Structure 1
Amino acid sequence: MNTLQAMSAEKVAHLVMNQEDLFILDVRNKDEFENWRIEGTNISVANIPYFELLEGIDPVLELIPPNKKILVVCAKEGSSKFVAEQLVEAGHHEVYYLEGGMKSWSEYLQPVKVFQDDKVRVYQFIRVGKGCLSYLVISGSEALVIDPSRLTNIYKTFAEKEGAVIMHVVDSHLHADHISGGKRLADDTGAIYYLMKSEGAVFEHAPFENHDVIQFAQVKLQVLAVKTPGHTPGSVSFLINDQLLFSGDTIFVGGLGRPDLGGKAREWAKDLYQTVYGKVAKMTNEVIVLPAHYADLDAEMNEDGYIGSTLGQIREKNEMMIGKTEEQFVRAVAESANTATPPNFEEIVEINRGVNKVTAEREQELEIGPNRCAVHHTA
């Protein structure tokens, strides 16, 4: 007998990241679907709004491929469960609905080990539904968190399981596509929270202008804050032990950060040029780049299962990082930067500055949708 089953966001992320077959019937309105959807290799998707299926699922039946898992998706869960039940009644096998809807998909984080040696181990948290990346760096019994999401419990729980205490929390810049968990994570754990003063946060924090090096743990792990303006005026990257470059939204696996969100595309593109051709150019090809976002999971995930690449490999693929004059670079970046902005980015920036405070429900609403900080690809 066929039975309806719930599929968690964690399970969907597993299917996406492992490129397994899945058919998704998305019953949200067309504008919601076109703005943001679940994507991946070997995932086929059809969009038929829920209101078109109230009198029956006949419009769907001919679209469903044979011998595939069927996942019905809506915003919160209820509509997808209703449609999925009808598919089960029609005799379809392996029918699921997305537990918690697209809101749960937006919030799921997948931890992956990135690096380990005798001094440090590093975990990347992939927010598959948003394209956001954050990191937990552990040395001895102490930990540092980089670019945390507002979903702070996962970092606290993970660090505790690893036998570490979170002592430092850093944001590479003032985020525009999601709400930072940096300040609240620091408040919850007693950690020090670092951000560039020039980003305009009104709450208490340790400004990177006064902290070029953060040292912690018995093994003298050094975290060097490299000022790398371009995406925002106060963007920084973090170079750990001359091996790992946490590049924020300055350098991605597939491109460079967009400098147009402040309305000063050419001016900030010049800063980005100085960063790429000045500070980053001095780093060796062997440095591993770990960004704060990605745009294409399949293209940017490496064979070890995390989003990252060596600086040398990124240079080879990105023609904008080698041999361009400042004018050539600025013109190309400015011309290609006029793309869609992150949804609700102005309100999110004000929240991240500490100027506005909203409810948890409003935070969730503001984050629904894709990230668009990684859209400037110059490969």
Structure 2
Amino acid sequence: MTVSAMSAKELHDKMNSGKSVFILDVRNPDDYNDWKIEHRNLVDVNIPYFDFLDDNEDMYNPLPKDTEIVIVCAKGGSAKMVAEMVDKRGYTTSYLEEGMLEWSQFYHTVTVVDEPKMKIIQVNRLAKGCLSYMVMSNGKAMVVDPGRHYEEYLKLAKEERVQITHIMDTHLHADHISGAPELAKQTGASYHISRSEMQGSDIIPYHALEDKQTFQIGDVDVKVMAIPTPGHTPGSVSFLVQDRYLLSGDTIFVGGLGRPDLGGKAREWAQSLYDTVFTHIENMNDDTLVLPTHYTDLREVNEQGIVGAKLGEIREKNQVMRTKDRELFTEMVAGTSGATPPNYDEILKINRGDVQVPLDVATELEIGPNRCAIHHS
């Protein structure tokens, strides 16, 4: 029996159907432990490819006989070989055709808001935990924090029958390459980012976001207010849509806050983050829906598949957001860090326009999980 190849979309649809999916990941343990496919309906096991070459019967003990096994590797080749070996022993197998390379570039959309005058769609790049948004009204659209694969947003705009007029980056991204400049070229839309994030670079054309700047999307009254929310980066900006929806970039997450240590000024930026939490957003209504640009934990995805939470719920669950003592807040935030995002410096240079790389290099630079959050829930 010939094993079948499965696309990333087919795998995601299978997991989203509500049925349990069994994945056999045949990459080496270090790669698996650093970054893997995750889903609430997923059971997985890691058995390296080379172990199967020994033809040891014990390798097959963890594998179920009564369900399909989806085999995953880095780029598809090893998974196909293992799938054929496992298939010969009577198991039902398929494999992710282009492996984690394909999974890293898969985008999934979910509608967050669908009102008579406005619609907001969340675009989830699941492998990276990267979220972007399309805010639509009366045939016009604003895109916030688009990923590198700008074609996804052109396709979505076509499906929704809207014209993209504004493209925003909440900050200069360090863990993935922004699709905003290229999307602006493709659509003729204006690209907006804080001037301090670009550090004087004039290579990429952009409009500087200003304090309390308001944008009109469509002919109806959809106000998008730019709010400085420094802390993750000095020029971080959030967007408040209709006074109810906060597109918070990497400043506030469902389960934490943006890391202030990536610029090498952890305490200084933590002080800025304190001012953001207790000044800029202090008076925002608890019912404000926070829609971040990243997530790091499946628990941040609700039953509807949306990453988002009411501001009041985040405040209640997040200890650091209730810590009004400035010094203690600073210690809690500045003292919490993890591994720096891979290729951090190179990606910053690309997003600022200082460096250009070919497509295959860009793909490799982005491989791996999101590391832009700190958690204090």
Per the TM superposition, whether the score is higher than 0.5 is yes
1:48: how far off? 2.4
Task: Single out whichever of 360-369 and 69-78 deviates more from structure 2.
Answer: 69-78
1:62 matches 2:61: yes
- Cα 1:315–1:21, aligned 2, differ >3 Å: closer, same or farther? same
CA offsets, 1:315-343, max 9 Å, x none? Answer: 11112112421111001111112x11111
Q: Does structure 1 residue 207 correspond to structure 2 residue 205?
A: no
How far is 1:20 from its partner? Answer: 3.5
Correspondence list, 1:253-264, <5 A: 253-264=254-265
Q: Is the Cα–Cα contact under 8 Å of residues 68 and 91 in structure 2 kept in the other structure?
A: no
Give the partner amino acid of 2:48.
P
Please name the residue that 2:164 is paired with.
Answer: 166
1-side partners of 2:211 and 2:42: how far apart? Answer: 48
Listed one character per residue, the Cα deviations across residues 230-287 of structure 1 (whole Å, up to 9, x for unaligned) are 0001100000010100000000001111100001110000000000111111100111
Contact 1:131-1:370 at 8 Å conserved across structures = yes
Residues 147-166 of structure 1: pairs in structure 2 closer than 5 A: 147-166=145-164
State how far apart, in whole Å, the 2-side matches of 1:266 and 1:18 are. Answer: 45
The residue number in structure 2 matching 1:344 is: 343
Q: Do the aligned partners of 2:247 and 2:291 also contact (CA within 8 Å) in 1? A: yes
Unaligned runs of at least 5 residues, structure 1: none
Aligned position for 1:107: 105
The equivalences for 1:216-231 within 5 A come to 216-231=217-232
> One-letter code of the match for 2:148?
R
How far apart are the structure 1 equivalents of 2:59 and 2:273? Answer: 48
Checking the alignment, whether the CA contact within 8 Å between 1:138 and 1:144 is kept in structure 2 is: yes
Please identify, of 103-112 and 320-329, the stretch whose mean Cα deviation from structure 2 is larger: 320-329
- Give the one of 122, 138, 141 matched to 1:140: 138
Q: Which residue identity is paired with 1:257?
A: G
Aligned to 1:305: 305
AA aligned to 2:319 is E
- In 2, Cα distance between equivalents of 1:274 and 1:214: 25
Aligned residue for 1:282, secondary structure, equals coil
TM-score by length of 2: 0.95
Query: Does the C-alpha gap of structure 1 residues 317 and 173 become closer, same or farther in structure 2, counting only changes over 3 Å?
Result: same
Q: How much is the aligned-residue C-alpha RMSD, in angstroms?
A: 1.6
2:105 equivalent to 1:126: no
Which residue of structure 1 aligns with residue 246 of structure 2? Answer: 245
Seq. identity, %: 48
Provide the residue aligned with 2:176 in structure 1: 178
Q: Aligned residue for 1:280? A: 281
Question: Counterpart amino acid of 1:6?
Answer: A
Aligned to 1:190: 188
The count of residues paired between Structure 1 and Structure 2 equals 374
Q: State the SS of the aligned residue for 1:294.
A: coil
Corresponding residue number in structure 2 for 1:378: 376
What SS does structure 2 have at the residue aligned with 1:342?
coil
One-letter amino acid of the structure 2 residue matched with residue 164 of structure 1? V
Deviation string, structure 1 residues 282-331 (Cα, Å, up to 9, x no partner): 1001111000001112x111233210011111111112112421111001
**Does the CA-based 8 Å contact 1:141-1:165 persist in structure 2?**
yes
The 3-state SS of whatever aligns with 2:256 is coil
* Alpha carbons 2:210, 2:226 under 8 Å: kept: no
Say which is worse superposed, 23-32 or 117-126, in terms of deviation: 23-32
Residues 19, 41 of structure 1: 8 Å contact kept: no
Does the CA contact (< 8 Å) of 1:9 and 1:108 recur in 2? yes
Q: Could you tell me how far 1:47 is from its partner in structure 2? A: 2.1
One-letter code of the match for 2:286?
N
Structure 2 unaligned segments of length 5 or more: list them.
none
Single out whichever of 106-115 and 193-202 deviates more from structure 2. Answer: 193-202
**Alignment match, 1:5:** 4
